[in-house]
Amino acid sequence: MKIKSSNIGYPRIGENREWKKLLELFWTEQVSEGQFEKEMEHIRLSHLKKQKEKGIDLIPIGDFSYYDHVLDTAAMFGLIPERFKTEEKGLTLQTYFEIARGSKGKIASEMTKWFNTNYHYIVPELKNAQPNLGKNRLLELYLEAKQKLGIEGKPVILGPISLLSLSKGYDKQRRAELLNSLIPLYIDVFKQLKEAGAEWIQVDEPILVKNVDKEIIDEFKKVYAAFNEGVPEVNVILQTYFESLEFYQEIIELPVQGIGLDFVHDAGRNLENLKEHGFPSDKVLFAGVIDGRNIWKSHLTKKLTAVYELTRFIDKDRLIIQPSCSLLHVPVTVKSEQQLDTQIKKALSFADEKLEEVVLLTKVANHDGSVQELEVHDQAIVELTNSSHRNVKTVQEAINNIGNYSSERIDVIKRKEVQAERFDLPILPTTTIGSFPQTKEVRKERLKWRKGELTAHQYEEYIKAEIKKWIDIQEEIGLDVLVHGEFERTDMVEFFGEKMEGIAITKFGWVQSYGSRCVKPPVIFGDVYCKETMTVKETVYAQSLTAKPVKGMLTGPVTIINWSFVRDDIDRTDVLNQIALAIRSEVEALEASGIKMIQVDEAALREGLPLKEEKTEAYLNAAVYAFKLATSSVEADTQIHTHMCYSNFDDIIHAIDALDADVISIETSRSHGELIASFEQHHYNKGIGLGVYDIHSPRVPSLEEISQNIKRALEVLDYRAFWVNPDCGLKTRGETETIAALKIMVEAAHQYRERLSTIETV
């Protein structure tokens, strides 16, 4: 009677992001389709081999993708958007990528966040969809692993109910029809896999951890009974992750052979339910005990206790140990990190190391290894926790006495008065969101400096020259509030991560964000604070060049924490407040240096919303508090701006209002007027800039278009509160198009101003 080990999914990108590079070579036609397929196979197999060598018993098959697993599942069942359908049978590689990335004349499918991760999936469009089984890709991949590596893998597929719930373009009645037509197709896939020898099939149904209703649970009862009847000999694992089940008792009774639960997140609710309601003796429990979402080593001695606790309810041969979710959300291996502080490095665990943890824990739980082995393993995390990194007295005292810090400003009406006097801006003031084009040259100079080919002084001089160039350009365009342009920053979070104590930037800690795009989240490993100012030099320099106000530009605490890997030894709110205090000191330093407009970006506030509704309020309260902590110590006549890059904010408008920023800018152009409509319901009395043109494409907008956007906004907003700005930062744009677009924007604002002033004088 032995416990086994399993994995749910493995990162696609490769140790050196070879997957990403190959994709991009293929897209730019630098490798042929044949070569592409061959090299992809090599990457895929090497990942499987690695998992085998580590000793994982149940290795996932089919989690590997050329782009996205939701798109793969949709494609396998013929669920492709109408505009991409052709006479040809089956889906070509070209069409597959066109759905994801768009092509001439055909817009790409929408992409959206995968649950509460920073991974984005392609949203299937089911309008007029007729599900049919094309090529059984799972079968091919299963056979490939078996024949080429002798691996009896565990095929992984996104389950039909989650697939439908994540798709769009159908109504309630259609949903039932679609589900009915998908059932036999899934059964076919399962049958073929069974015939080929598959023992277990992992059917992912993460939708079960959201606040689903009874109707969905009824769908589960129906669908999984049908599977069981259709292919009784197949072993289905109903796999869930990210949070606990809402309907524990109903789900564990479904006619499946295995249930996969996350025992890490949601404060142990799955475990509590298990203890209270038991677990069926005829099912296998796939226990997600190693955190698949963070990058810290697990405290395996504690995990062992948890596993033993499970064995009180479940026979060992019905227990499997695995990560809490797919390892897609963590980087590949710590091994590549040569430059990290060893104390931190030793406490890290990326995908490969997490699999080693799973195997080690399984071994010791089976009494094939000693508990000492776990203690040795745990040593690094204990050492980091006891280290000076995590015991900075001043920071901890500040957090313990957080109530001593003000988090309220004086009334906004009063602020408006003094700010109007100080800045004396025209109505409809024009500004930008912060960054100007980061040209190849800017990036090249930064690289030279990093490599030591430029001295710090030379690099600084270069940045200064860029700032000067763009201050002049902004003056010439006639903008009212200027920015320094953010040329010294790679990324709005990484930049601050590099400057703050307690945050490390890895070299290879990449994670897939969408398609071939990867991000490298900073690692918050210790108490966070600033030793010196982070942005004052550049901002003050920019301000010295102009009589117009220059906005200081900071990233907010919520965004920094949401886009980082966070230490898990203390409360997340405490980490958040530590960062907020660090930003607060920067806000104060800017103000003390004469910078009287300061923008604190919260680009990631909305996307951090928890999966479960009952957690929303606590999240938003903490977010609002942290933002106010960071921004409330300034004088009444210092103007705090914030920016958010999304437009669907109807449900969080009260929180946005509660941030109490003097001016907010929001992305608007792509919301098709929905955002504007939401202001018919809500009265917003602070400064607000609804983006008047889309910065996501190089297209230069026309004067009519921008005027139209201003007009629409002014139908619902007070013109005295309205700011004119683009949707977001201009970092990814070219110089020529940026200047052209901004000139038109300024002209549109001027025309409007004139019109409004004639109305005023009448």
3-state secondary structure (DSSP) of residue 295: coil
Choice between 347 and 553, CB closer to Zn ion? 553
Choice between 384 and 728, CB closer to Zn ion? 728
Q: Which of 473, 587, 482, 499 is nearest to 544 (CA)?
A: 482
Choice between 363 and 606, CB closer to ligand GLN? 606
Asked if 553 interacts with ligand GLN (CB under 6 A), we say yes
**Footprint (CB under 6 A) of ligand GLN, residues 186-205:** none
What is the residue whose two structure tokens read 């086994």? 4
Q: x/- site string to Zn ion, residues 637 to 676, per CB under 5 A?
A: --------x-------------------------------
Give the interface segment with ligand GLN, choosing from 270-278, 428-436, 626-634, 707-715 (CB under 6 A). Answer: 428-436
Question: What is d(CA 541, CA 589) in angstroms, rounded to the nearest whole number?
Answer: 14
Asked if 601 interacts with ligand GLN (CB under 6 A), we say yes
Choice between 333 and 671, CB closer to ligand GLN? 671
- Please answer whether residues 68 and 158 qualify as being in contact, where contact means their C-beta atoms are separated by less than 8 angstroms: no
Written as one letter, the residue type at 127 is: K
Asked if 433 interacts with ligand GLN (CB under 6 A), we say yes
**Footprint (CB under 6 A) of ligand GLN, residues 451-490:** 486
Across-strand partners of 639?
597
Asked if 642 interacts with ligand GLN (CB under 6 A), we say no
Identify what 155 binds: ligand GLN, Zn ion, none; CB under 5 to 8 Å per kind: none
* Per annotation, catalytic residue among 641, 643, 696, 750: 696
> b vs e for 15-36, b when ≥16 Cβ sit within 10 Å of the residue's Cβ?
bebebbebbeebeeeebeeeeb
3-state secondary structure (DSSP) of residue 718: coil
Q: Verify whether residue 750 is a known catalytic residue.
A: no
Asked if 425 interacts with ligand GLN (CB under 6 A), we say no
Give min distance, CB of 580 to ligand GLN, in A: 18
Asked if 624 interacts with ligand GLN (CB under 6 A), we say no
Residues, the chain: 762
Question: What is d(CA 155, CA 197) in angstroms, rounded to the nearest whole number?
Answer: 11
**Footprint (CB under 6 A) of ligand GLN, residues 718-747:** 728-729, 731
> What are the structure tokens assigned to 720, written together?
């005295």
Question: What is d(CA 179, CA 221) in angstroms, rounded to the nearest whole number?
Answer: 13
DSSP for 647-706, written as a single string: S--GGGHHHHHHT--SEEEE--GGGTTHHHHHHHHS---SEEEE--S--SSSPPPPHHHH
What is the residue whose two structure tokens read 């564990």? 252
Asked if 491 interacts with ligand GLN (CB under 6 A), we say no
Asked if 666 interacts with ligand GLN (CB under 6 A), we say no
Identify what 434 binds: ligand GLN, Zn ion, none; CB under 5 to 8 Å per kind: ligand GLN
Question: What is d(CA 228, CA 256) in angstroms, rounded to the nearest whole number?
Answer: 7
Asked if 603 interacts with ligand GLN (CB under 6 A), we say yes
Asked if 483 interacts with Zn ion (CB under 5 A), we say no
Rg of the chain, C-alpha, whole Å: 27
Give min distance, CB of 491 to ligand GLN, in A: 9
Give the interface segment with ligand GLN, choosing from 36-44, 136-144, 433-441, 582-590 (CB under 6 A). Answer: 433-441
Q: Which of 11, 19, 16, 117 is nearest to 60 (CA)?
A: 11
- Please answer whether residues 264 and 291 qualify as being in contact, where contact means their C-beta atoms are separated by less than 8 angstroms: yes
Give min distance, CB of 495 to Zn ion, in A: 15
Closest residue to Zn ion: CB criterion: 645
- Residue 628, CA atoms < 13 Å, CB-side half-sphere: 20
- Of 198, 728, 739, 744, the one binding Zn ion by CB under 5 A: 728
- Please answer whether residues 14 and 508 qualify as being in contact, where contact means their C-beta atoms are separated by less than 8 angstroms: no
Give min distance, CB of 374 to ligand GLN, in A: 42
Question: What is d(CA 257, CA 203) in angstroms, rounded to the nearest whole number?
Answer: 11
Asked if 605 interacts with Zn ion (CB under 5 A), we say no
3-state secondary structure (DSSP) of residue 536: helix
Asked if 692 interacts with Zn ion (CB under 5 A), we say no
Identify what 492 binds: Zn ion, ligand GLN, none; CB under 5 to 8 Å per kind: ligand GLN
* # of chain residues touching Zn ion (CB under 5 A): 2
Asked if 354 interacts with ligand GLN (CB under 6 A), we say no
Contact footprint for Zn ion (CB under 5 A): 645, 728
Contact footprint for ligand GLN (CB under 6 A): 433-435, 486, 492, 553, 601, 603, 643, 645, 728-729, 731
Instruction: Kindly list the catalytic residues.
Output: 696
